[in-house]
Amino acid sequence: MKGLVHVDEFIIGGQEENAPGRSYNTPKTKVIITVELNEERKVKRVYAKVINDYSAKSFTPLFEQHISEEAKVITDKWRGLQPIKEKV
C-alpha cells in the first residue's frame, strides 16, 4: 500500500453491557485494519490482522509487511499507532 492509507483498530464481538470502550476481560477479537484508497478515494485494497493487544508491537507487522514508507497514513489518535505512524 503506497497511496492514501487509513488505519484503525477495532473489536469483533460487540460491546458488553455496562462496559463502554475497550475491555480486556472478555472473549473478543481485536483487529487492526488498513484501507488503501485510489485517486478517486474509493477502496483499492484492504488488509486486516487479528492482534493480541492494542500496542505498537502488535501493530508493527502489518505496517512493515503491507504499508510503504511513501504512503500517507491516516489514523485516529490511538497512542499505540502513533510511534509506527511517525516511522512511515
Give the full edge-to-edge strand order of the sheet including 72-75. Answer: 43-51, 29-37, 4-12, 72-75
pTM of structure? 0.75
H/E stretch holding 79: none
Mean pLDDT along residues 5-23? 75
- Domain range enclosing 64: 4-87
29 backbone dihedrals φ, ψ, rounded to 5°? -100, 125
Confidence label for 4 from pLDDT (cuts 50, 70 and 90): very high
Give the count of domains, the chain: 1
Spatial distance between the Cα atoms of 21 and 10, rounded to a whole number of angstroms: 10
* The pLDDT value given to residue 19: 64
Cβ pair 79, 55 in contact under 8 A: no
Q: What percent of the chain has pLDDT over 90?
A: 35
Mean pLDDT along residues 41-63? 90
